[in-house]
Chains A and B, each alone.
Chain A
Amino acid sequence: MILKTKLSKLELRNPTILASGILCNGPLLKRAAEGGAGAVVTKTVTKEIREGYSTPILIGVEGGLINAVGLANPGYENYIVEDLPIAKEGKVPVVVSAGGSTSQEFREICIRAEEAGAKAVELNLSCPHVKKHGLQLGGDPTIVKEIVKDLKGALKIPVFTKLGLSDNIGTSAMAAQEAGTDAIVAINAIKSMAIDVDARKPILSYGYGGLSGPAIHPVAVRCVHELRQKLTVPIVGCGGVTDWRTAVEFLIAGASAVQLGSAIAIRGIGVFKEIEEGIKNYLKSNGFKSLKEIIGCMDR
């Protein structure tokens, strides 16, 4: 059974990808690769060192997790020196997630990542809980176009654009495609809030956070399906993948691969292998010979 899939030039042994911001550090990215991931995405790295928000930064809710980590990272240079080499020992493509507030910052980080051996970069234009970063950029198609265009001229490796839920997700994705992005990743965690009724206070120190996990899966599938109708570039589905079934749903909707993160909290690092096996069995029992046959099959 062939589970290989392609995101532009990047070939993956299977369609499961560790999402950014989960496990985060080099040695744990390596473990995710050993746990079966087809590729791993780093913690979003920024130009400056960021401590992130104080705890609590991650909480459980019905059907998922809410996080407001605050883009904590040791700065891209530090990460590239300390963590990237170990992550690469996992022998699957390492995608460096970059965060910034200007084109210049994205360019600086991505060029360095390419030099250091990243197989692709992912632009975090979707983090819902840091001002002047993430979603505040990704929700504006003009800014998306400017950042992607600037990078495409400077890099040889593929550029993935990770977008979040906003009214503009379709137009931002189109803008990224026009600027030359090699794939769209959709979606990031959705801006949300949880209040402790006993304490009568928000649980996360930041107040708001990003909801991930099964609760957002149907929303993410809808986004991927809509984007598939508009776009020609590959799409990576992200949101609520916890088993083969939720992964296959994305593939049928038109995603060429899936990202997952929250599932690790409940199923452990071996979840990638479990999903890979599950997809294999699904393809076999439905008479398919390769993964490609089901990507976007519903609308063919």
Chain B
Amino acid sequence: MPSRPSSAGKDTLTFDSFVFAPAKIKRIVTESPKVKSFYLEYRGKTPRPGQFFMAWLPGQEEVPMSVSDFGEGFIRISVANEGQTTANFHKLTNGKKLFLRGPFGNGFSFDAKSFLIVGGGYGAAPLIYAAKNIIRSRGKCVYLIGAKNKSELLFVKEARKLGVKVEIATEDGSAGYQGPATELMEIILKKEKFGSVITCGPERMMYKVVSLSVKRGIKIQASLERYMKCGFGVCGSCVLDPIGLRVCSDGPVFDGAILLKTEFGKRKRVASGAKVKI
């Protein structure tokens, strides 16, 4: 499959591309104590795995949400209860509306035959949609998912149902390998060869995944999370210093070798634009 260009800067964008549209909640699934998936009515453009929507609940903030699944008439977002806004998302019930704009960003490119997917915590959301895409185009993939404990592992059953081999790492050893996902990744890489690694999760974990992959000469793509004010490349909030990549529109998926030239894994910007340590 060819790699996909970024959505930013294309002639097809108009100012209408940045308008919110209401999306009715069709179904809510509790994935883990912290994460709920929302199936939302959607008839827009097909999102590529790795792309995201800005989701807004009137009266609250809008937040970037990766697509965790897409099908006829719906998209799915999987929301971790991590703050006031997402706590309010969790209170929503079937039939209520969320407001969406997007899809934004570039998405993963699938230019390999075999993939090692490395997810940590709720970073699994875009990865399960990526796994679905890989399987549908007859690629091979392993879904390595890490979490604090068994109850917080995401999309394990779903991955198995897709026919993907699942590898599990938990910090407390309540399921699978006891230890960080990156340790299990090293073990797997010693046994098996992959054309490409894709990862999403806590930034420190991803930094390790990227470093390990680059060291071994494996192509690696990481999907980043940053504080975003607009989501479509104008405000600059989500910039990766010092080379000036915007996570929202130049990413959120980046080639790992490029990320290592930035402050990825080290510093990020907050709402004021000031930098803080990760």
Chain A residues within 8 Å of B, Cβ to Cβ: 22-28, 30-31, 43, 49-52, 54-65, 69, 72-75, 78-79, 82-83, 86, 196, 198-199, 201, 203, 205, 213-214, 261-262, 264-270
Q: With A25-B269, A28-B244 given, is the CB distance from A65 to B229 under 8 Å? A: no
Q: With A60-B15, A63-B15 given, is the CB distance from A199 to B58 under 8 Å? A: yes
Partner of A262 from the list B11, B97, B234, B272 (CB cut-off 8 Å) is B234
- Among residues 1 to 45 in chain B, which have CB atoms less than 8 Å away from a CB atom of chain A? 8-11, 13-20, 22
B99 touching A24 by the CB < 8 A rule? no
A55 touching B233 by the CB < 8 A rule? no
Chain A residues with CB under 8 Å of B18's CB are: 58-60, 65, 265
Partner of A25 from the list B8, B97, B239, B270 (CB cut-off 8 Å) is B239
Specify the chain A residue showing the minimal Cβ separation from B14: A266
Using an 8 Å CB-CB cutoff, how does the interface string of B255-278 with A read, 1 for contact, 0 for none?
Answer: 000000000000001111111000
- Alpha-carbon distance between A72 and B272 when the two chains are bound, in angstroms: 5
What is the CB-to-nearest-CB distance from A241 to chain B, in angstroms, rounded to a whole number? 14
Chain B residues with CB under 8 Å of A261's CB are: 234
B241 touching A27 by the CB < 8 A rule? yes
B233 touching A25 by the CB < 8 A rule? no
Specify the chain A residue showing the minimal Cβ separation from B227: A55
Partner of B20 from the list A57, A64, A203 (CB cut-off 8 Å) is A203
Chain B residues with CB under 8 Å of A55's CB are: 56, 61-63, 228-229
B61 touching A205 by the CB < 8 A rule? yes
Specify the chain B residue showing the minimal Cβ separation from A45: B273
B234 touching A264 by the CB < 8 A rule? yes
Chain B residues with CB under 8 Å of A73's CB are: 272-273
For the complex, is B135 an interface residue (Cβ under 8 Å from A)?
A: no
A54 touching B61 by the CB < 8 A rule? yes
B19 touching A72 by the CB < 8 A rule? no
- Alpha-carbon distance between A62 and B18 when the two chains are bound, in angstroms: 10
Partner of A57 from the list B97, B230, B239, B269 (CB cut-off 8 Å) is B230
Specify the chain A residue showing the minimal Cβ separation from B11: A267
For the complex, is B162 an interface residue (Cβ under 8 Å from A)?
A: no
Chain A residues with CB under 8 Å of B122's CB are: none
- Alpha-carbon distance between A78 and B237 when the two chains are bound, in angstroms: 15
What is the CB-to-nearest-CB distance from B95 to chain A, in angstroms, rounded to a whole number? 14
What is the CB-to-nearest-CB distance from B240 to chain A, in angstroms, rounded to a whole number? 8
What 5 additional pairs, Cβ within 8 angstroms, besides A27-B240, A59-B19, A74-B273? Answer: A27-B243, A69-B229, A72-B271, A86-B244, A270-B9
- Alpha-carbon distance between A86 and B236 when the two chains are bound, in angstroms: 14
- Alpha-carbon distance between A24 and B237 when the two chains are bound, in angstroms: 8
Using an 8 Å CB-CB cutoff, how does the interface string of B225-251 with A read, 1 for contact, 0 for none?
Answer: 000111011111101111110100000
- Alpha-carbon distance between A88 and B4 when the two chains are bound, in angstroms: 32
Chain B residues with CB under 8 Å of A50's CB are: 272
Chain B residues with CB under 8 Å of A72's CB are: 229, 271-273
Chain A residues with CB under 8 Å of B62's CB are: 55-56
What is the CB-to-nearest-CB distance from A129 to chain B, in angstroms, rounded to a whole number? 14
Chain B residues with CB under 8 Å of A266's CB are: 13-15, 17
A52 touching B234 by the CB < 8 A rule? no
For the complex, is B73 an interface residue (Cβ under 8 Å from A)?
A: no
